[in-house]
Copies of this chain bind each other. A is one copy, B any other.
Amino acid sequence: MIYFDNAATTAIKPESVGKTMSDVLTSGHFGNPGRDSSNYSVNSSLLVEQTREKIAQLFNVPSSDFVMFTSNATDSLNTTLKGLLKPGDHVISTNYEHNSVIRPLEQLRRNNVDIDYVPFDTETGVINIEDFETRIKSNTKAIVCTYASNVTGYVLPIDNIGKLCKKYNLLFIVDAAQSAGFIDIDIQKQGIDVLCFTGHKSLYGPQGTGGICLKESLPIEPLKSGGTGIDSFNSNMPDEFPTRLEAGTMNVPGIAGLYEGIDYILKYGLNNIRQYVIGLTDEAIDGLDKYPEVKIYTPRTGLRTGVIAFNVGDLNSAEVGQWLWDEYQIANRTGAHCAPKVLESFNLVEQGIVRLSFSSFNTSEEIKVFLGAMEELIIEYRKEI
């Protein structure tokens, strides 16, 4: 079996991730963090704080207090968008968004938040900074966008959008689900006010982890409120971060696993891993490029993620994907990828798109198996048309 669906989740994690989580759960030394002065509590507090610090370093967050843990990027984005956008506000987003951005925004639209989606060029993939600027209005409060398309791997011009936000005094909210751990992110240098990330993709941590990083304090109304172990007689959540956004019991084993995932990236070098994975992507794209029937949606130039998006003639993407799995046990993803506006932009609502996505655990040999499979598929396809 070959796993090429790492943009969904890296199914293979470093050994240390599972081992550490198992230790946390069964050693009997880890309680709930921040609740008392016993070693059980202190051990968990230290573990959570070390992970906060590691994430703060990774994204250049000014203080580990501005790193909040959530259960996934969707949780982070709902918390951020619903906690910051008020009736009467205008927000600019893009057609590259995942439903983790679109659906919360559309829920907010019913609460009188106005939304514009910036289109992209379907030939080049490029999204133009001018198309953001022309949409800015007097009530525009924020730009929210994904760092990179989960469908095509296109990386948005984050630095320039950050400058635009600074120029017009807008909040810049970035969905880093597809880039955290894969591309160097510096929220201070890039002018990112809120970075929403997930732990279980390119950070190689477990599902059930994610977070929010802030460049500075922001008046985010908590989406969830509850026990915090401090300030218990206050019927509101405490004002200070990270507590303000962390109601209830934390996912201590998950956070311990996330620490190990990040440690793995830093050990091998984020840029080394990216170079390796992009190498696999290039190999796959080069192999597919020789078939005129294959339409590739992933841009070849510029920074991109470890994704390749394509179709074969007019074959439905689900048919291609199922064939790759049935005949060669190559796991892939097809259909809409929870990114409806990408599919609508390409006019592929019916056909969908086949996506392969790679991690550091994939190999050149696996790409060769895939290309052999594609050779066979295309020969069959040519016979049929």
Q: CB within 8 Å of B: which residues of A?
A: 1, 3, 5, 8-9, 11-15, 17-19, 21-26, 28-32, 35-41, 70-75, 77-78, 98-100, 102-104, 106-107, 198, 200, 206-209, 222-229, 232-233, 235-237, 247-254, 257, 321-322, 325, 329, 331-340, 343-344, 349, 361
User: Given the known A-B contacts A13-B25, A21-B18, A22-B21, are A226 and B32 also in contact in the complex, defined by CB atoms under 8 Å?
Assistant: no
Name the 8 nearest CB pairs between A and B, nearest first. A74-B248, A208-B251, A18-B22, A227-B338, A38-B331, A74-B226, A103-B225, A100-B226
Kindly state the separation between the CA atoms of A39 and B247 in the bound complex, as whole angstroms.
36
- Given A223-B78, A248-B72, is A3 in contact with B31 using a C-beta cutoff of 8 Å? yes
Nearest CB on B from A285, distance (A):
22
**Which chain B positions have C-beta within 8 A of A343?**
232-233
With A41-B331, A333-B36 known to touch, is A225 a contact of B78 (CB < 8 Å)?
Answer: yes
Instruction: Please tell me if the beta carbons of B225 and A107 are within 8 angstroms of each other in the complex.
Output: yes
* A99, closest chain B residue (CB): B227
When chains A and B are docked, how far (Å) is the Cα of A103 from the Cα of B334?
Answer: 42
Contact of A247 among B9, B40, B103, B208 (CB under 8 A): B103
B254 lies within 8 A of A254 (CB): yes
Q: Are A106 and B236 in contact (CB under 8 A)?
A: yes
Distance (Å) between the CB of A153 and the closest chain B CB? Answer: 17
From the candidates B8, B30, B331, B340, name the one contacting A232 in the complex (CB within 8 A): B340
- Residue of A77, A103, A206, A250 ringed by the most chain B CB atoms within 10 A: A103
CB of A3 within 8 A of CB of B104, answer no
Q: Which residue of B lies closest to A205 (CB)?
A: B25
For A21, list chain B residues within 8 Å (CB): 18, 21-22, 25, 206, 253
B residues less than 8 Å from A361 (CB atoms): 28
A8, B249: Cα distance in complex, Å: 8
Closest to A74 in B: B248
Q: A11-B28, A251-B208 are in contact. Are A75 and B39 (CB under 8 A)?
A: no
